Chain A
């Protein structure tokens, strides 16, 4: 059965801390892995990863994929209260379906 598992389930940090969120997957016919940020409504796209070892960066956020070990990490440096959200990992595989993990709820305290 295809599955995506995220850890930790939740995380509380203080502003300025660095966090690492984890996503492991088991799917057939992997195509890409995506990270989303979800605040109170729709998930918003952060990164798409298709190749191992190539880091994607956007400001304080970065992500990398390991297709051999079947996992990805999302790093957030110098966290701010505005980073508080649920971070979702999803895998696209054959059939054009996204399978999501359960998410990591991040709370950044001032």
Chain B
């Protein structure tokens, strides 16, 4: 399967712990996006990369959230000192650099903070 993959698929953690999620985009896609989706809502944009450059990060929810894409391939999203309000589905998507309107989504990582 050459689609977008995300790991882990599910993560349960205790409040205050740090968590890290990984996204592997479609191999030829330069752009990688992170979204958060809470129950009953549409996905909410967080940040995106073009190759290894993070071009937009003002939408990250707080300074506890950070993302990296060090080699321009896979990306990680880290949440430090998790709170119960961080419980959500975290979706990753990728696209070609000139096709931001054709984003392919991964299956998501569902985070539950106890």
Binding site for B on A (CB under 8 A): 4, 6, 31-32, 34, 41-45, 48, 88-90, 92, 95-103
Contact = CB atoms under 8 A, between A and B. Distances in A.
Given A89-B42, A97-B56, 12 more contacts: A4-B42, A41-B107, A42-B91, A42-B107, A97-B45, A98-B43, A100-B35, A102-B40, A102-B41, A102-B42, A103-B40, A103-B41
Q: Which of A43, A88, A89, A92 has the most CB of B within 10 A?
A: A43
Nearest to B105: A42
B80 interface: no
Interface residues of B, number: 24
A106 to B, nearest CB: 14
Contacts, number: 58
A23 to B, nearest CB: 11
B102 A96 contact: no
Contacts of B69: none
Interface in B9-65: 31, 33, 35, 40-45, 48, 55-56, 59
A96 B91 contact: no
B101 A92 contact: yes
Contact of A97 (B41, B42, B48): B48
Contact of A100 (B44, B56, B100, B102): B44
14 contacts: A31-B101, A41-B107, A42-B4, A42-B105, A43-B43, A45-B104, A48-B101, A88-B42, A90-B43, A98-B100, A100-B43, A100-B44, A102-B40, A103-B41
Contact of B103 (A41, A89, A95, A98): A98
A25 B41 CA distance: 16
